[in-house]
Amino acid sequence: QVKELVLDNCRSDDGKIVGLSSDFENLEFLSMININLLSVSNLPKLNKLRKLELSDNRISGGLEVLAERTPNLTHLNLSGNKIKDIDTLEPLKKLPNLHSLDLFNCEVTMLINYRESVFTLLPQLTYLDGFDADDQEAPDSDPEADGDGLEDEYENGEEDDLDEEVIDDEEDEDDDLEGEEEEDGVDDEEEDEEEDGEDDEEDEADDDLPRGEKRKRNLEDEGEEDPEDEEDDEDD
């Protein structure tokens, strides 16, 4: 059931692959970067393998094994190995689906007309060291194959929906606050008007009283006694 296997930085046994068997027949991606590999002779038959990462090893030849045991290979990374001659790459002609080949930091890249020679030798190639024959850079990945495009679109859609919901919630909160402030303002004004009305009613009631009664009431409100009442008390 395993489709992807990464063994980077593990140590090979005497420069050969050990422990990898044809039981991994469903493998589509295999990475063995920097494992001190000298040869791929022990590579099992992997008919479904499409991408093989072998960078930063010490492979100098023996690539015919790849043609025999990984016939459907589309991407091969041999950068940082000991490949020196164009002829070393000739067995890769038997990989009809090989579209991408990386040879960074291999001595072969220093040869005159290196790129033209490789494209001529391997006409099925689309990209060499990340660029096509017209020096156009290869895309980082295929969104349709990886499914990344759909995930990104889905995530972006979710984010947009969330943003809209947040904005709507904020607007609703602002509306509620404004409504509360308006109601508070109305209530305060009504209370002030009621208090003013009570004061006016008391003043009108006082105006209807005779002068003496009105003065007496004012004195009572201020906590003083009427002088006339004091005189009456003295006479008594």
Which of residues 220 and 36 earns the better pLDDT score? 36
pLDDT for res 196? 57
Which of residues 76 and 176 earns the better pLDDT score? 76
Is residue 13 classed as helix, strand or coil in its secondary structure? strand
**By percentage, how much of the chain surpasses pLDDT 90?**
47
Could you tell me how far CA 164 lies from the centroid of its own chain?
18
Domain assignments of the chain as residue spans, ordered by start: 4-128
Contact 90, 66 (CB under 8 A): no
User: Is the pLDDT at 236 greater than 60, yes or no?
Assistant: no
User: Is the pLDDT at 82 greater than 60, yes or no?
Assistant: yes
DSSP for residue 135 = -
Buried b (16+ CB within 10 A) or exposed e, 17-50: beebeeebeebebbbbbebebbbbebbeebeebb
Q: What's the alpha-carbon Rg for the chain, to the nearest Å?
A: 47
**Fold held by 4-128:** 3.80.10
Q: How far apart are CA 177 and CA 53, in angstroms?
A: 61
Give pLDDT tens digits for 106-164: 999 999 999 999 999 999 999 999 999 999 998 874 433 344 444 444 445 544 554 55
**Rounded mean pLDDT, 191-207:** 53
Give pLDDT tens digits for 51-69: 999 999 999 999 999 999 9
Give pLDDT tens digits for 169-188: 555 555 555 555 555 554 55
Q: How far apart are CA 51 and CA 165, in angstroms?
A: 43
